Amino acid sequence: MRRPRLDGVSPYPKDVLIRRSHPISRLMALLLKEAMSKQIAIVGAGVSGLTCGVLFAERGYRTTIFAAETGDQTTSAVAAAIWFPYDAAPLDAVIAWALETYEVLQPLGADPASGVSMIEQRAFTRAGELAIPEWAVSLGARRLPAADVPRAFSSGYTLAVPLTDTTQYLPYLTKRFRNAGGEIYGGIHLENLEEAALDCGLVVNCSGVGARTLLPDREVEPHRGQVVLVPGIPHSHATVCDDPPLMYAIPRADDCVFGGSNDPSADRNPDPALSARIVAECSRALEIEPPSVLRERVGLRPFRRSGICLRADRLRDGRRVIHNYGHGGSGFTLSWGCAGAVLALADSA
């Protein structure tokens, strides 16, 4: 089913855009191809789609984002969004993209409107000695003294990392994108990528979990993450432990995110029993009284069993497509590094 144009009147005859057999001159064909090459359709309005949108729009591409869900509806809006490579592969590429993203996010902390700040992150294990990864050492990580290790854990390290408050950062990206001339259309349910704007010469696929049915790519599976928002806690640092059960407490300006879970499931309904466990485990680890619950939220991490898909391809109608999905629990952590790689693929054609 063909989706009607939503972004105004095309400068080209409608039948030229749709009927491949339309007899047009060679010059007109070249002009049309050139115009289409500067028009980008991005599928998906989470942090990956928005970041790609900002990069393309700020470099002069006419860029439009099409998505079923936008803003607070997206999985990105549910994320604790602290910089931390998690639940994504392959490791070498993940670390490279993560470090590139770190370099972009760190200076954004100087802009209050961005919602980005640098925060001390303390990573722990419940048994044995937690090794400090080489990438963390390169960023100044150091082992925590025993006095700073809560009784629930056996060891840990500390590292300053970017924290993106999604309630501010996603609107910040959206504003940057629109200020650069980008357009966003929500409530768009595509059956396949070929339905994305026919006058766009390049489609960027940032559909997340949606890639499972949109392509379809059966390597993609939703990893259900549930969080509980609680009032601010008496800790200025973030606490993370990815030993089972996954546990994190991420203080933000107006609340604190308690997590979490990571289960293969597409159920987006909050589980009250799981929320109670999350609050109990976080409170025990932080050695505080259980706080009241402000809100429960569920998001679906777009995990891909064979690793992140970031590559160029062709759609069935011959147009170029660049895939950028399967980031698991590292969407924010990899956002700018992966967007840069997408832009490089686009420019290399």
Verdict on whether the full-model pTM lies above 0.95: no
Contacts 24+ apart (CB under 8 A), 262-265: 262/87, 262/223, 262/224, 262/225, 262/301, 262/329, 263/223, 263/224, 264/221, 264/222, 264/223, 264/224, 265/222, 265/223, 265/224
pLDDT digits (tens, 9 = 90+) for 264-288: 999 999 999 999 999 999 999 999 9
Q: How much helix, strand and coil, in percent to the nearest 5, is found in the chain?
A: 35, 25, 40
Tally: H helices and E strands in the chain: 9, 15
Mean pLDDT (the chain) is: 91
In a domain, 284, yes or no: yes
In a domain, 324, yes or no: no
pLDDT digits (tens, 9 = 90+) for 207-220: 999 999 999 999 99
> What is the rounded CA–CA span in Å between residue 85 and residue 13?
47
Domain count, the chain: 1
Whether residue 139 is contained in a domain is answered as: yes
227 within some domain: yes
3-class secondary structure per residue, 212-238: HHHCCCCCEEEEEEEEEEECCCCCCCE
Task: For residue 38, name the pLDDT band (cuts at 50, 70, 90).
Answer: confident
What's residue 37's pLDDT?
A: 60
The residue range of the domain holding 236 is 117-161+221-303
Tell how far CA 33 is from the center of its chain: 31
Q: Is residue 147 part of a domain?
A: yes
pLDDT at residue 7, rounded to an integer: 41
What's the token pair of residue 222?
């939703």
Mean pLDDT of the 38-43 span: 96
Distance separating alpha carbons of residues 330 and 327, to the nearest angstrom: 5
